[in-house]
Amino acid sequence: MQAAEIAKLVGGDVLGDPSRVISGVRKIEEAGEGDISFIANPKYLRFHDGTQASALLVNREFETTRKDLVYIKTDDPYLAFLLVLRTFMPPAIRPEPGVHPTAVIASDVVLGANVSIGPHVVVGARSVIGDGVVIQSNTVLGEDVMVGRDTVIFPNVTLYHQTRVGERVTIHAGAVIGADGFGFLPRGTSEGWEKIPQTGIVVVEDDVEIGANVTIDRATLGETRIEQGVKLDNLVHIAHNVVLGRHTVIAAQAGISGSARIGERNMIAGQVGIVGHIDTVPDVIIEAQSGVSKSIRKAGRYFGHPVKEHAQALRQEGALRQLPDLLRDIRDMQRRIAQLEAALGVDAKE
C-alpha cells in the first residue's frame, strides 16, 4: 500500500512522500525499509531518531523532524496502527463448515447453519449451537449448552452443562466455564466440610472475549454473568455469582471472589484480588497487585493493599520509603538527648 492509501484508511494526513510504498508492519525499534510503525506512548520517543521504518503513525501535535520519514498524523495513532495491522495481517481463515468424523455429537443437539466442529469435540445432550459457530479440537460441551452465532471456541475448552454463550464470543484454549463454585460449609472442628450444591449457571453475553485457561464458576443459585463486551486476559478466575459489568476488562492472574458485582467499564490490572460480596461503580481503574476489601463507590484510579485512591496511595508509599531515614534520625535524637541529660545530671527516668 502507498502511504496515501494508509492515510485514507486511518483518516490521517500525510507529511512526506504520499507514494512511499509500505509492505509491512513492525515495532518501531525493529522496523526496517518498507515498514510502518507508530508512536503513541512518550516512552517510545527514544526510538524515533534511530528507527529504520519508512513511515510512522503519530498524533497531530507530533513534531516532525526527519525528512527521510513519512509521517501520517492521526487523532489516535494506536487505533490507526491496529487498523493498519488488520489490513496487512488479516485473521486466520475460518475452518470449513461441517462436523469432523471424530466429533461426538448427541442425537438431540441442534446445529445452526455453517457450523464448524473440529476433531474430538464432544457435544452433550440438548445443546444448541447457533449459525456460523467454530468449535475447534478437544472441546467438551455439556448437557443443555447454548452457543450463539459467530462464536469461536478454541481447543481444549470445557463448557459445563447449561452454560449460555452469546453471539460473537471468543473463548481461547483451555478455558473452563461452568465448573462448581467453591462452596463448603464446616461441619465441626474435626468433621470436615459439607459441599454446598452449585445449582446455578453461567451466562456469557455477546461480544465477550475469554482468554486462555480462564475459569468461570457456575452460580450457587441463579447466574454468574459476564455482560456484553467484557474482555478477560489469560488465567483470570471468576467465582460463583459474580457479575462483570459491560465492557469491563481484566488482566492476567486477577481473581474475583464470589458474589462480587463489578461495574461497567472497569479496568482491573494483573494480579488484582477482589473479595466477595462487594461492588464497584462504573469507570473504576484498579492497578496491578492491588487488593480490594471494600466496595468502591466513586469512579477513579485505585491502588494498594487494601486499595486507596491513587493519589493517597502514592503519598503513603512515599512516606513508607522515608521510614528508614526517619527511624535513623529518631535514634540519633534519642542518643543526643541521653548525652545532654548525662551532661546535665538529669535522670531520664524522673
What is the set of active-site residues?
Answer: 240
The three cell numbers of residue 169 are 464470543
CB 207 within 8 A of CB 228: yes
Stated length of the chain: 350
d(CA 138, CA 119): 6
Distance CA 350, CA 345 (A): 11
Closest CA to 240 of 185, 272, 199: 199
* Closest-CA residue to 158 (of 126, 113, 122): 122
Question: What is the DSSP annotation of 137-194?
Answer: TT-EE-TT-EE-TT-EE-TT-EE-TT-EE-TT-EE-TT-EEEEPP--EEE--SSS-EE
User: In the chain, which ranges are continuous DSSP H helix?
Assistant: 3-10, 77-88, 310-344
